[in-house]
């Protein structure tokens, strides 16, 4: 019986998607953007601990649940400058931003009318989300909202007389559960109606997400914000799926739905799928090892690693959502800024090979990756050869070959499916040099 109900619900979702006149356009906007900024921020930055997990799975964080819950009493980010954040994202070449409005701990970074556990009851007193929305609108940067269905603070989500570590997954069998779903709906309505255009809603539902009645919230989101896309973490596949801290080995496809945690990479192809079979996706990733600010975490990925991860993601048709965790004062730390600006410099030269592209036709190159736009194939070269680059597997006839750095035309010869390109002795860019191949 459960299988039958699931099949009916899945069919209903498919029919609704097909009937939605905005579905294709909102997905196109998302797919074209390719690169975004994720922001995990809240009072937990004061303790250099991860968001919410210290009260859910305590042990390694060095803070009790009681002390964690008191952090808002000291949270006063007087150096918060949302215009600076937007300017940095644009300088990095990021084309959208996703902000954590509420994490699993239940603390709201917006002035919700339905809780006292919120930013306007801290020493800072002002609505963080409102200021960021205004800055993003002024800067022309689409803004999306992360919203956590789990809520450790709400007594209808779980019995809050107990420590969160005992029941952090929620208790949907309690009679209070419908009250919690109503609370979610009221808060989401606030986010969708107060802050202008919403680019996307990024749920983070943990396990057994069906308990949140995702169809209810999909319907409301598209009623209020018809151009907002929705991820897959509320019990439904949504518009796109979300692997975390990794890039799939192949190109995700719809015929095998990819969950947000999929260590075996089921549902991917090494060969390009048809456009109808392709499953839109986005990977989110940290610059160091933590999502929130952590003064003790100095394990930063290099700019080269981040640029190549962006390229690898886009070569498989995905978006790259790169996270920053601002300091307790509200600043983005210098190490993050340095790497974001380095990515931005690379994007100024090579952005046409990223924005508006799709997965590349050549997925097995040993020296790099490919992306595609129309009849142009972009070859992103990680390992630069000495004098000549051999590109195997090209099934179309090349008509022009250009090195994007300096817009330099390159000589080439094509024998069957192998394109041989005369390249400079030294790589123009040590991170990734891009060659555009125009084809018939």
Structure confidence by residue, pLDDT tens digits, 170-195: 999 999 999 999 999 999 999 999 99
Phi-psi region of 78 (alpha: psi -120 to 50; beta: other; left: phi over 0): alpha
Which segments within 304-431 are labelled E, that is strand?
A: 319-324, 358-359, 368-373, 376-381, 388-391, 398-403, 408-409, 412-415, 418-422
Q: Is residue 5 part of a domain?
A: no
pLDDT of residue 144 exceeding 80 = yes
Residues, the chain: 440
- Is 1 a member of any domain? no
What does the pLDDT read at residue 256?
63
- In this prediction, residue 255 carries a pLDDT of 76
Residue with the bigger pLDDT between 265 and 185: it is: 185
pLDDT band for position 420 (cuts 50, 70, 90): very high
Distance CA 350, CA 341 (A): 14
Residues 163 and 253 in one domain: yes
Q: Write down which residue in 303, 338, 358 finishes a domain.
A: 358
Please give the Cα distance from 418 to 422 (Å, whole number). Answer: 13
Contact between 127 and 77 under an 8 Å Cβ cutoff? The reply is no
Nearest C-alpha neighbor of 376 from the set 355, 405, 409, 398: 398
pLDDT at position 387 is 87
Q: Which of 318, 334, 358 is the last residue of a domain?
A: 358
pLDDT score of 411 more than 90: yes
> Taking each helix axis from N to C terminus, what angle separates 334-350 and 82-91, rounded to the nearest 10 degrees?
40
10 inside domain: no
94, pLDDT greater than 60: yes
Q: What is the CATH number of the domain that holds 97?
A: 3.20.20.80
101 with 195, same domain: the answer is yes
DSSP-based three-state secondary structure for 133:
helix
Residue 149 lies in a domain: yes
Q: Lowest-pLDDT range, 4-18, 232-246, 395-409?
A: 4-18
> Could you tell me if residue 9 is inside a domain?
no
What pLDDT sits at residue 261? 39
Q: What's the whole-number mean pLDDT along residues 99-113? A: 98
285 occurs within a structural domain: yes
Q: What percent of the chain has pLDDT over 70?
A: 92
Q: How far is CA 285 from CA 33, 191, 291, 303, in A?
A: 17, 24, 8, 13
pLDDT per residue as tens digits for the range 336-389: 999 999 999 999 999 999 999 999 999 999 999 999 999 999 999 999 998 899
Same domain for 235 and 354, yes or no, is yes
At 113, the pLDDT band (50, 70, 90 cuts) reads very high
Here the tokens at position 61 are 């964080």
pLDDT at 262 over 70: no
**Shared-domain flag, residues 31 and 175:** yes
Rounded Cα distance between 23 and 219, Å, is 13
Which of these three, 341, 358, 375, is where a domain ends?
358
Q: Are residues 350 and 233 in the same domain?
A: yes
Do residue 327 and residue 290 come from a single domain? Answer: yes
| Closest-CA residue to 347 (of 439, 429, 436) | 429
Q: Does residue 268 register a pLDDT over 90?
A: no
Distance of CA 166 to the CA centre of its chain: 30
391 and 322 in one domain?
no
Domains in the chain, number: 2
**Structural domain of residue 173, as residue ranges?**
21-358
Residues 282 and 347 in one domain: yes
CA dihedral 219, 221, 222, 226 (to 10 degrees): 180
Instruction: Out of 220-229, 262-271, 357-366, 417-426, pick the least confident.
Output: 262-271
> Residue-wise over 327-359: b if at least 16 C-beta within 10 A, else e?
bbebbbbeebbebbebbbbbbebbbbbbbebbb
Residues 345 and 435 in one domain: no
C-alpha distance across the termini of the chain, in Å: 53
**Residue 78's pLDDT band (boundaries 50, 70, 90)?**
very high
In whole angstroms, give the CA distance from residue 335 to residue 66.
32
Domain-embedded: residue 56: yes
pLDDT score at 14: 47
Q: Are residues 280 and 373 in the same domain?
A: no
**178 and 71: one domain?**
yes
**Number of other CB atoms surrounding residue 102 within 10 Å:** 30
Q: Where are the beta strands (DSSP E) in 216-309?
A: 229-230, 251-252, 268-269, 282-286
- Cα–Cα distance measured from residue 388 to residue 397, given in angstroms and rounded to the nearest whole number: 19
CA 360 – CA 379 distance, rounded (Å): 9
Name beta bridge partners: 147.
102, 203
Is the domain of 277 the same as that of 369?
no
**pLDDT at residue 7 greater than cutoff 50:** no
**Helix (H) or strand (E) segment spanning residue 132:** helix 128-139
Mean pLDDT of all residues belonging to the chain: 93
CA distance 358 to 309: 15
CATH number of the domain that residue 398 is part of: 2.60.40.1180
pLDDT at 11: 45
pLDDT at 80 over 50: yes
Distance CA 331, CA 317 (A): 32
């Amino acid at each position: 019986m459960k299988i039958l109900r699931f099949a009916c619900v899945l069919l209903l979702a498919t029919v609704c998607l097909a009937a939605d006149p905005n579905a294709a356009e909102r997905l196109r906007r998302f797919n074209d953007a390719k690169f975004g900024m994720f922001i995990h921020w809240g009072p937990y930055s004061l303790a250099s601990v991860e968001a919410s997990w210290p009260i859910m799975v305590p042990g390694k964080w060095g803070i009790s649940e009681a002390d964690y819950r008191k952090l808002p009493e000291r949270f006063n980010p007087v150096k918060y400058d949302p215009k600076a954040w937007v300017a940095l994202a644009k300088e990095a070449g990021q084309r959208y931003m996703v902000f954590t409005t509420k994490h699993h701990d239940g603390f709201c970074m917006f002035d919700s009318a339905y809780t006292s556990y919120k930013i306007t009851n801290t020493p800072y007193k002002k609505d963080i989300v409102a200021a960021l929305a205004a800055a993003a609108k002024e800067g022309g940067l689409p803004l999306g909202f992360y919203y956590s269905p789990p809520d450790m603070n709400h007594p209808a989500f779980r019995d809050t007389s107990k420590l969160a570590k005992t029941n952090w997954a929620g208790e949907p069998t309690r009679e209070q559960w419908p009250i919690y779903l109503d609370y979610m709906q009221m808060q989401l309505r606030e986010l969708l109606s107060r802050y202008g255009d919403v680019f996307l809603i990024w749920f983070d539902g943990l396990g057994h997400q069906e308990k949140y009645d995702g169809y209810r919230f999909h319907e409301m989101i598209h009623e209020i914000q018809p151009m907002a896309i929705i991820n897959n973490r509320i019990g439904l596949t949504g518009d796109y799926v979300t692997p975390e801290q990794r890039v799939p080995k192949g190109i995700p496809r719809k015929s095998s739905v990819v969950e947000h945690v999929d260590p075996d990479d089921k549902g991917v192809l090494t060969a390009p799928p048809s456009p109808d079979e392709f499953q839109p996706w986005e990977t989110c990733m940290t610059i160091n090892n933590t999502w929130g600010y952590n003064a003790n975490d100095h394990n930063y990925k290099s700019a080269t690693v981040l640029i190549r991860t962006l390229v690898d993601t886009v070569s498989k048709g995905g978006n790259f959502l790169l996270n920053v965790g601002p300091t307790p004062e509200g600043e983005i730390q210098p190490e993050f800024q340095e790497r974001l600006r380095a990515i931005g410099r690379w994007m100024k030269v090579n952005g046409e090979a990223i924005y508006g592209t799709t997965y590349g036709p050549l997925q097995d190159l040993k020296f790099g990756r490919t992306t595609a736009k129309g009849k142009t194939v972009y070859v992103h070269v990680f390992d630069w050869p000495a004098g000549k680059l051999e590109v195997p597997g090209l099934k179309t006839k090349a008509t022009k070959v250009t090195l994007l750095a300096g817009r330099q035309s390159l000589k080439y010869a094509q024998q069957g499916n192998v394109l041989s390109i005369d390249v400079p002795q030294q790589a123009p860019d040590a991170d990734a040099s891009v060659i555009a191949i125009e084809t018939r």
